[in-house]
């Protein structure tokens, strides 16, 4: 299949053969013991049939993705049993990739006792965007080559690979893009019929990823999909409000010394409601905290203050600091004294900036 042909077919009967390097169709499998990435995200074998979520420019319906891999690119899969990021060509196709969509990993050439074919199955775990463009070499490290898009994945290693010969023997897969146009760059597409054929005709049992692999994958995916919008530093605790793209929710959390999450204080649909919950948690500590002996400058190191609220995404590094028993200033780097605003409580100061900033952001999005 290519952008100019549909390449769809009906599910065929099993070819009934096996080899040490691949698996013949087994009539499908419900084995998804390890494929449980990030909460409610769909697994490699879905309960419902795959449906089209887009089309190629040639009009081919897209029901899933297939990523080609050379032997030298399989370090994470071999060592951790899991792949959580992959470089892609920055084409229109990556703009169609969204969390939860099926994705399969395909070995391009013979690698020891492994033959070409499907070696991993899972889901897309993060969005891709122009801001994510990075230069990656074949080993996944930064290089001077043309930029590529880094896409987050949760793809686990198949317990027994599905050799290309068995894949191609299925009538519904004979026209797949990986067979019809193997020279195409990542990502290649699979039609809904092709994804359903893979789910129905092959056993997709996977090996359990290592604990280190799961931790690395979750860390990467969280970094790509979660954004800290407000951070609060108090004498005896640290709190934050973050936005999770996967859940489309705002969370208020307490942080440990290593900035890890140690407690949750609610989830919210509305950012202002989340900020209000955050300041409610912080208000007593902010009120009781000491005032610096000298009038602090907003550009001083935050260690000079006992109360600081930071807005990491703001252009000027906007922050709220305590300058008096009932005086909390809002300002940013480069702001003059006239631009700095003072409020009687910590909560009022944080909410004033947050309300203005979030309303402005929403208006900008509506205008676009």
What's residue 72's pLDDT?
86
For the chain (368 residues), the mean pLDDT of every run of 10, in chain order, is: 38 34 40 39 59 94 96 89 88 89 93 88 80 40 55 93 96 97 94 96 95 89 82 90 87 87 91 94 91 61 75 82 88 76 93 80 39
Q: How far apart are CA 59 and CA 42, in angstroms?
A: 26
Domains of the chain: 54-209 (3.10.590.10), 225-367 (no CATH)
Contacts of 7 (CB under 8 A, 6+ apart): 1, 60, 175, 176, 177, 180, 191, 194
Residue whose C-alpha is closest to residue 107's, from 35, 157, 148: 157
In this predicted model, what pLDDT tens digit does every residue of 213-231 receive, in sequence order? 998 888 888 777 778 889 9
What's residue 20's pLDDT?
34
What's residue 298's pLDDT?
52
What's residue 265's pLDDT?
94
What's residue 301's pLDDT?
55
What's residue 43's pLDDT?
44
Q: How far apart are CA 250 and CA 65, in angstroms?
A: 30
Contacts of 30 (CB under 8 A, 6+ apart): 45
What's residue 8's pLDDT?
31
| Torsion over CA: 37, 39, 45, 49 (sign) | negative
Residue 46: what are its φ and ψ, rounded to 5°? -85, 155
What's residue 303's pLDDT?
63
Q: HSE (CB half, 13 Å, CA atoms) of 354? A: 25
Q: How far apart are CA 66 and CA 281, in angstroms?
A: 46
Q: Which residues of 341-368 are buried (b: 16+ CB within 10 A; e: fewer)?
A: eebeebbebbbebbeebbeeeeeeeeee
In this predicted model, what pLDDT tens digit does every residue of 157-185 receive, in sequence order? 999 999 999 999 999 999 999 999 999 99
Which tokens sit at 95?
Answer: 């703009």
Which regions of 70-187 does DSSP assign to beta strands (E)? 82-88, 102-107, 117-124, 133-134, 148-163
Which tokens sit at 207?
Answer: 């090996």
Render 56-86 in DSSP notation, one character per residue: -TT--EE-EEEEEE-GGG-HHHHHHSEEEEE
329 near 348, Cβ under 8 Å?
Answer: no
Residue whose C-alpha is closest to residue 306's, from 355, 248, 238, 233: 233
What's residue 359's pLDDT?
65
């Amino acid at each position: 299949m290519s952008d100019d042909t549909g390449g769809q077919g009906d599910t065929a009967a099993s070819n009934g053969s096996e080899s040490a390097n691949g698996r013949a169709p087994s009539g499908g499998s419900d084995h998804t013991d390890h494929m449980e990435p990030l909460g409610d995200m769909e697994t490699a074998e879905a309960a419902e049939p795959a449906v089209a979520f887009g089309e190629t420019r040639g009009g081919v319906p897209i029901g899933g993705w297939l990523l080609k891999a050379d032997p030298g690119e399989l370090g994470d899969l071999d060592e951790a049993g899991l792949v959580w990021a992959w470089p892609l060509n920055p084409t229109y196709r990556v703009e169609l990739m969204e969390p939860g969509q099926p994705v399969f990993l395909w070995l391009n050439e013979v690698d020891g006792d492994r033959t070409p074919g499907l070696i991993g199955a899972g889901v897309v775990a993060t969005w891709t965007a122009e801001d994510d463009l990075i230069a990656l070499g074949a080993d996944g490290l930064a290089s001077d080559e043309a930029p590529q898009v880094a896409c987050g994945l949760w793809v686990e290693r198949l317990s027994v690979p599905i050799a290309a010969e068995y894949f191609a023997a299925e009538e519904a897969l004979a026209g797949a893009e990986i067979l019809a146009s193997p020279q195409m760059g990542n990502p290649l597409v699979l039609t809904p019929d092709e994804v359903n054929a893979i789910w129905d005709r092959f056993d997709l049992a996977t090996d359990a990823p290592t604990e280190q692999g799961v931790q690395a994958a979750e860390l990467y995916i969280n970094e790509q999909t979660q954004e800290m919008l407000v951070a609060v530093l108090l004498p005896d605790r640290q709190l934050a409000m973050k936005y999770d793209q996967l859940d489309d929710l705002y969370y208020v959390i307490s942080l440990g010394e290593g900035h890890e999450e140690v407690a949750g204080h609610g989830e919210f649909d509305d950012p202002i409601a989340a900020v209000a919950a955050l300041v409610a948690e912080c208000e007593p500590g902010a009120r009781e905290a000491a005032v610096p002996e000298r009038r602090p400058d907003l550009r001083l190191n935050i260690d000079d203050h006992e109360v600081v609220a930071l807005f990491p995404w703001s252009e000027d590094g906007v922050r709220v600091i305590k300058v008096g028993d009932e005086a909390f200033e809002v300002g940013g780097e480069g702001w003059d004294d006239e631009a700095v605003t003072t409020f009687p409580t910590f909560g009022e100061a944080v909410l004033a900036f947050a309300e203005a900033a979030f309303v402005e952001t929403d208006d900008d999005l509506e205008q676009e």
